[in-house]
A and B are shown apart, each in its own frame.
Chain A
Amino acid sequence: MMTQSVSATSTPPVPELAINTRDLNLWYGTFQALFDINLKIKKGIITSLIGPSGCGKSTFLRSVDRINERLGYVRIKGAIEVLNQNVYAPEVELAQLRKQVGMVFQRPNPLPISIRENVLFGYRIHNEKMGRIAKSEADGIVEDALRQVLLWDQMKDRLDHKASVGLSLEEMQKLCIARLLPVKPSILLMDEPCSALDPKGTAAVEELIWELRGRYSILIVTHNMAQARRASEECIFMLMGRVVEHSPTDQLFVTPTHRETADYIEGRYG
């Protein structure tokens, strides 16, 4: 934070960061899951996070919006800055943090209410008027969000249908992304968003994620290396709770600088 004002005037502009971590260490009880994570994740692009199971990808994701803390036995050292603010600072209001940072899960989890209410849910809970919003305003929000996720045409005639029945997994997952948008988040965290989908659904959701690039900074955890390669601009490889490599995706896949990265992307372990 201190150096930034200096560098802004003297050297070429430093790319703006969505997430910046300093020596992040995390323990579940006595088990250390993250070791000295120093990551600078740029704003407005898609960054993918790959690595074998248990390497700490999801743990990292879940510490950015601090949802990990619900477990009660999580201990953290170091700092995570989201949009240049340490989210572990005492004055941080979790509800505000989670408004800025949306999370998409592995299994689509639309709420068991109507499609319309799913999209409005986040907006309502953050609304000053205790969720009482005018119909015209609500209609606009729903349409805008569903258009952004390319669902409007399919959904516009059944907005009052229950979201948890009768939708394909792909549609559900898109809806889960749509419901994050009305509160205008800056960062979308996605925890293997396509692993429950069939190839066609995967393609459609990847296309959507690509579409959302620029408007939102997207950090996507994936097991699917082809997906990381297709659908991200920068790529982070993690192993045993440490960051091994963080570079532009092409570079990481073509000329990895670490032995472990090369072994992993060639499928020698996973």
Chain B
Amino acid sequence: MFESTLVNQRNDQVQKRFKMIFGVMLVILIIPVIIIISTLIIKGSPSISWPFLFTDPTNGMTEGGIFPALFGTIWLVIVSLLASVPLGVAAAIYLSEYAPDNLLTRLINLATINLAGVPSIVHALFGVGAFVVFFQFGTSILAASLTLAIMTLPVVIVSSWESLQSVPRPFREACWNMGATRWQTIWNVVLPNAFTGILTGVILQVSRAAGETAPIMFTGAAMFLPFLPNSVFDQTMALALHLFVVATQVPNVPESLPYGVALVLVGIVLLMNTVAIWIRMHLRGKKKW
């Protein structure tokens, strides 16, 4: 009575066909990633060395290292984080915990999500207008970092908002019913439990900020500088722009150099993402409601 019938066999075949289609899609998706990473490693790794990371470029950027660019990227990321994290997390807390659920709040949420999709070159032009010209920061680390911050803000807000929302509502109700204010509830219960998620979101934005070229090339990143920046009002080199320059703008660059720069850049991004995933797994593992 339990033998398979024609219907079962047909259902089974359809199911197998779909499984195969999805599997093939996945492979198609993975192949480019593998090709990119392996090409970078094969062509770029010969140029990676300590001196490469820690010396200046020489001979019209066709030789030497990438230290000023590496240093500049770190600067840009740190300053942009200092601006975007407090702002973004505060905005997310307001949206998630204080704002009433009405049309305006929903519009703001929608606008924030859409803002995340604005092309980075648009942010770049905004940065030129706002920070370089209007606030007169000039082309500087400050202007470039703030432009990066504006670019990453929407995603910081959205990911922080999601982390805050993922804290179960009964916890808040328990607090409110004991007479706790919203802030006491946020500080004691919501934030400690949303912290991991917020942190992960922030780290993912670090990697995005490190990799973007457009927002910084008009606002503070220079093609080549013979000195390291002394303050946030100086210009700086940056990895992403350096890669663009050595790959397209400078003649007679040995092939391994741009690949080396790209490998370092991708390495930083992957490292950051790995840290984010690790933090998430490590802290989530301990967290059970």
Contact = CB atoms under 8 A, between A and B. Distances in A.
Given A111-B189, A112-B189, A164-B289, A95 B170 contact: no
Interface in A80-130: 94-99, 102-103, 105, 107, 109-113, 121-122, 125-126
Contacts of A121: 175, 178, 180, 188
Interface residues of B, number: 23
B177 A176 contact: no
B171 interface: yes
Given A72-B100, A99-B178, 20 more contacts: A65-B177, A67-B177, A95-B179, A96-B179, A98-B176, A99-B179, A103-B177, A105-B173, A111-B175, A111-B189, A121-B175, A121-B188, A122-B178, A122-B179, A125-B179, A125-B188, A162-B288, A164-B288, A164-B289, A165-B288
A122 B189 CA distance: 13
Interface of A: 65, 67, 70, 72, 94-99, 102-103, 105, 107, 109-113, 121-122, 125-126, 162, 164-165, 176, 179-180, 183
A94 B189 contact: no
Contacts of B181: 95, 125
A94 B178 CA distance: 10
Contacts of B173: 67, 105, 109
Nearest to B286: A162
B171 A98 contact: no
B170 A105 contact: yes
Q: Which of B174, B176, B188 has the most CB of A within 10 A?
A: B174
A165 to B, nearest CB: 5
Given A72-B100, A107-B170, A125-B184, A112 B289 contact: yes
B179 A111 contact: no
B193 A112 contact: yes
Select the residue from B101, B175, B179, B288 with max chain A CB neighbours within 10 A.
B179
